Amino acid sequence: GENVEQHPSTLSVQEGDSAVIKCTYSDSASNYFPWYKQELGKRPQLIIDIRSNVGEKKDQRIAVTLNKTAKHFSLHITETQPEDSAVYFCALQGAQKLVFGQGTRLTINP
């Protein structure tokens, strides 16, 4: 079945620096790759997604890159701010469901 590995599990960066989270997968049939942000005590929220017909998508300080040949996709956050502190989950489209990574706890240090 589908499987996705997410790294790192925790990440701490200085405010203003960039953060990168990477996910690798095994099922080449996946065509949809979303990223979710979950603040403490709240529900996961979709922040950006990418489909397999594009290699990169950007939305202000957030970008996602996809390499289907190497089977990995990454979330890039530039100019990090304190409100970026949260747990981030990558996911990919499986059969009638999403398959989620294990999550990355991102901490932005002032």
Partner 1 sequence: SQTIHQWPATLVQPVGSPLSLECTVEGTSNPNLYWYRQAAGRGLQLLFYSVGIGQISSEVPQNLSASRPQDRQFILSSKKLLLSDSGFYLCAWSLSSVEQFFGPGTRLTVL
Residues of this chain that interact with partner 1 (CB under 8 A) are 32, 34, 42-46, 49, 89, 91, 93-98, 100-103
Q: How far is the CB of 18 from partner 1 (least distance, A)?
A: 24
Q: How far is the CB of 67 from partner 1 (least distance, A)?
A: 20
Rg of the chain over Cα atoms, rounded to whole angstroms, equals 13
Nearer of residues 18 and 46 to partner 1, judged by Cβ: 46
Q: How far is CA 89 from CA 31, 55, 58, 62, in A?
A: 17, 19, 17, 14
Q: How far is the CB of 24 from partner 1 (least distance, A)?
A: 16
Nearer of residues 7 and 78 to partner 1, judged by Cβ: 7
Nearer of residues 37 and 72 to partner 1, judged by Cβ: 37
Q: How far is CA 16 from CA 29, 61, 71, in A?
A: 37, 11, 29
Enumerate the β-bridge partners of residue 87.
38, 105
